[in-house]
Amino acid sequence: MNILGTAVRFIVSALVLMLIGYVVPGFSHIGLWSALLAAVVIAVAGYILESLFGKAVSPYGRGVVGFLISAAVIYMAQLVVPGLHVTILGALIAAFVIGIIDLFIPTAVR
């Protein structure tokens, strides 16, 4: 994948995270820079987890484990991203919404 394609995917991921802040209760509204940082943190954490445990922990594994890992990664991202505050319920709903949006607009950075 080229640099431009990666940049576009990160921007789309950031916009999705910003949208989720307005739609999902328990997920704070974040600005563009925080959303971009969150997209990077989530992508890196997802990559590390997939490297350690295989594709079964990926949301693309289409299983409950992938969904729960995705929610956990979103919840843990708040520890690194300033301004991002997520409840456990908010992370679960956000993982679900991201999964639905990702069916139509793939935002995975791989």
62: left (phi over 0), alpha (psi -120 to 50) or beta: left
Domain assignment present for residue 46? The answer is yes
Per-residue burial over 65-98, b = 16 or more CB atoms within 10 Å of its CB, e = otherwise: ebbebbbbbbbebbeebeebebbeebbbbbbebb
- Which residue in the block uniquely carries the two structure tokens 């987890």? 49
The answer to whether residue 96 sits within a structural domain is: yes
Is residue 95 a part of any domain in this protein?
A: yes
Is 110 inside a domain boundary?
Answer: no
Q: What is the pLDDT of residue 63?
A: 65
Average pLDDT of the residues in 76-86? 91
Asked whether residue 65 is domain-assigned, the answer is yes
Q: How far apart are CA 29 and CA 24, in angstroms?
A: 9
The pLDDT value given to residue 48: 83
Query: What is the rounded average pLDDT of the residues 83-92?
Result: 92
Summarised one tens digit per residue, pLDDT across range 24-73 is 888 898 998 999 999 888 888 877 877 777 665 555 555 677 788 888 98
Between residues 29 and 5, the one the model is more confident about:
29
Number of domains the chain contains: 1
Q: Which domain holds residue 41?
A: 3-104
41 lies in some domain? yes
Residue 30 falls inside a structural domain: yes
pTM above 0.85?
no
- Asked if the structure places residue 16 within a domain, the reply is yes
